[in-house]
Structure 1
Amino acid sequence: MKNTINLVKLCVGIDSFEQLEAYRASRRVEGEDTPSQHITRMWPRREAELLNGGSLYWVIKGVIQARQRVLRLDEAIGKDGIRRCAIVMDPKLFRTEPAPRRPFQGWRYLDPNDSPRDLKLSREKEDSLPHALSAALADIGVR
């Protein structure tokens, strides 16, 4: 496997894949595929591995449900003068197989071998399972 690493991040304030999709779309400039970005306090030490094809996996309601490919890391200086990291991502969101995650702060590295697979395009249009059922199935290893 190539030298790649992913990130996993809690998606606070978002209740579903569709809500994340709508939120990301609302932040784009009209008519453009403007990259998405997420500002975080810490700069990934494994930057080279992340930028070698890594993605950010979003945990929604305790379950990884989506990913976005990471394009680059930009410096972002806050109004308080503190240097932060802007994780710039492709605007395309991919729905993933559900994978449960316990709460954590910030972001964590996620080995590609432990990363949930993208759902097949034919399954993206299916109604999503209720959150509790999806989490229970993922918890026992049924995807």
Structure 2
Amino acid sequence: MSKRIHIVKLCVGIESYEDLEQRLTMRGGQTSGHVTRMRPKQEEALLNGGSLYWVIKGDIQARQEIKALEEVIGEDGIKRCRIVLAKPLIRTQNAARRAFQGWRYLKPEDAPADMPKGRKNEEELPPELAQSLADLGLF
């Protein structure tokens, strides 16, 4: 069985999940895409059910399934990679991520779970439980 891997990317200029969803809706069509300078080396694993996880305001909040990787040439003549992404956008449980440049691979076991359909956010933990988890380094 082939392995699977994901990509995590900062969603610069987007304020919320709803903001990203609205921008994707305005573009129309069944797919969207993101152009990046570096082509992922683990193409086979990405195309085996991988997703691009979007970091919005310091948290992974959404993902899109990766459909294809295409070579594109920019106006400057430099080769780039277009990551073709499926629609719709899928809301995930929030997972904090520090800022970084470019994109990073994300192992399936480290990827946040999808939110159940119809849920827009996670329920707040009771303050005592949140503090206990933070003390243990788990929250």
Quick check: TM above 0.5?
yes
Shift of the alpha carbon at 1:122? 3.3
**What residue is the counterpart of 2:53 in the other structure?**
57
Between the aligned partners of 1:122 and 1:18, the Cα distance in structure 2 is 14
1:94 is matched with 90
Q: Quote the offset at 1:18 in angstroms.
A: 0.3
Q: For structure 1, list consecutive stretches of 5 or more residues without a partner in the other structure.
A: 130-135
CA-CA distance at 1:102 after TM superposition:
0.3
Equivalent positions of 1:25-104 (< 5 A) are 25-28=25-28, 32-33=29-30, 35-104=31-100
Residues 25-76 of structure 1: per-residue CA shift (max 9 Å, x gap): 1122xxx42x110000000001110000000000000000000000000111
RMSD: 2.2
Instruction: Give me the whole-angstrom Cα distance separating, in 2, the residues matched to 1:8 and 1:27.
Output: 22
Pairwise CA distance, 1:2: 5.0
Structure ID, larger Rg: 2
Amino acid at match of 2:17: F
Between the two proteins, the alignment pairs up a number of residues equal to: 130
Q: Which TM-score applies when normalising by structure 1?
A: 0.83
Q: How does 1:119-134 map to 2 (within 5 A)?
A: 119-124=115-120
TM-score, normalising length: structure 2: 0.86
**Secondary structure of 1:88's match?**
strand
The share of aligned pairs that are identical, in percent, is: 53
Structure 2: 5+ residue stretches without partners: 124-129
